[in-house]
Amino acid sequence: MDDMRDIAHFVEVARTRNFSQAAARLGIPASTLSRRIAELEAGLGTQLLVRTTRRVDLTEAGALFLSRCEEIVEAARGARAELSELTRRPRGTLRISVTPDFATTFLAPVIVEFCERHPEIDLHLDLNPRRADIMAEGVDVAIRIGMPREPYLYARKLITARRGLYASPAYLAAAGTPLTPLDLAVHRCLSVSSGEPLPWVLHRGDETEEISVHGPVQANAPGIVLRLAAAGLGIAAADEVMASPYLAQGDLVAVLPDWSIRPVPIYAVTATKVHTVKTRIFLDFVQKSLKVFGAAE
Per residue in 275-297, pLDDT (tens digit) is 888 898 999 999 998 887 765 44
CA 211 to chain centre: 26
Angstrom distances, CA of residue 108 to CA of 100, 103, 123, 127: 10, 6, 12, 12
Q: What is the pLDDT of residue 1?
A: 44
Task: State mean pLDDT over 90-99.
Answer: 88
Q: State the sign of the Cα–Cα–Cα–Cα dihedral 268, 269, 272, 278.
A: negative
Range of the domain at 194: 161-264
- Domain containing residue 78: CATH number: 1.10.10.10
H-run or E-run covering 265:
strand 260-270
**Between 28 and 193, whose confidence is greater?**
28
Q: Residue 272 has what pLDDT? A: 82
Are 147 and 269 members of one domain? yes
| Tally of domains in the chain | 3
Query: Quick check: 239 pLDDT over 80?
Result: yes
Mean pLDDT, range 60-82, rounded to an integer: 79
Tell whether 8 and 73 lie within a shared domain: yes
pLDDT exceeding 70 applies to what percent of the chain?
Answer: 93
Q: Choose the final residue of a domain: 56, 85, 114.
A: 85
For residue 98, give the 3-state DSSP assignment.
strand
Question: Are the beta carbons of 254 and 166 closer than 8 angstroms?
Answer: yes
What would the pLDDT profile of 190-210 be if each residue is shown by its tens digit?
988 766 667 899 999 999 999
Instruction: Check whether residue 75 and residue 149 sit in a common domain.
Output: no
**Is the Cβ–Cβ distance between 141 and 282 less than 8 Å?**
yes
Give the CA-trace dihedral at 73, 77, 80, 81, to 10 degrees.
-160
Examine the domain organization and report whether 76 and 105 are in the same domain. Answer: no
CA 224 remoteness from chain centre? 20
DSSP string, 104-166: IIIIHHHHHHHHHH-TTEEEEEEE-SS---TTTTT-SEEEEES--S-TTSEEEEEEEEEEEEE
Give the model's pLDDT for residue 85: 58
> Average pLDDT, stretch 223-229?
93
Neighbours of 192 (CB within 10 A): 23
Q: What CATH number has the domain bearing residue 96?
A: 3.40.190.10
How far is it, in rounded angstroms, from Cα 209 to Cα 197? 16
Mean pLDDT of 238-251: 90
Q: Which residues have CB under 8 Å from 126's CB, separation 6+? A: 95, 96, 97, 98, 132, 137, 139
In percent, the amount of the chain with pLDDT more than 90 equals: 35
- Tell me which of 34, 60, 85 is where a domain ends: 85
Residues 37 and 56 in one domain: yes
Mean pLDDT of the region 82-106 = 78
Are 173 and 253 within one domain?
Answer: yes
Q: Is 218 found in the same domain as 140?
A: no
Residue 20 pLDDT more than 90?
A: no
Nearest to 143 by CA among 44, 249, 286: 286
**Among 152, 151, 154, which residue's Cα sits nearest to residue 142?**
154
pLDDT in tens, 122-134: 999 998 877 788 8
Comparing 90 with 230, the larger pLDDT belongs to: 230
Arithmetic mean of pLDDT, 5-31: 86
Regarding whether 152 and 275 lie in a shared domain, the answer is yes
Pair type for strands 154-167 and 253-255: antiparallel
Three-state DSSP state, 99: coil
- DSSP for 165-222 reads EEE-HHHHHHH----SGGGGGGSBEEEE-SSSPPPEEEEETTEEEEE--B-S-EES-H
Least confident range of 111-115, 199-203, 257-261, 291-295: 291-295
Quote the CA–CA distance of 93 and 152 in Å, as a whole number. Answer: 23
Residue 195 is predicted with a pLDDT of 64
279 phi and psi, to 5 degrees?
-70, -45
Task: Judge if 255 and 244 occupy the same domain.
Answer: yes
Angle (CA) 169 292 294, round 5°: 70
Do residues 270 and 150 both lie within one domain? Answer: yes
**87 falls in which pLDDT band (50, 70, 90)?**
very low
Average pLDDT, the chain: 86
Give the pLDDT of residue 4: 78
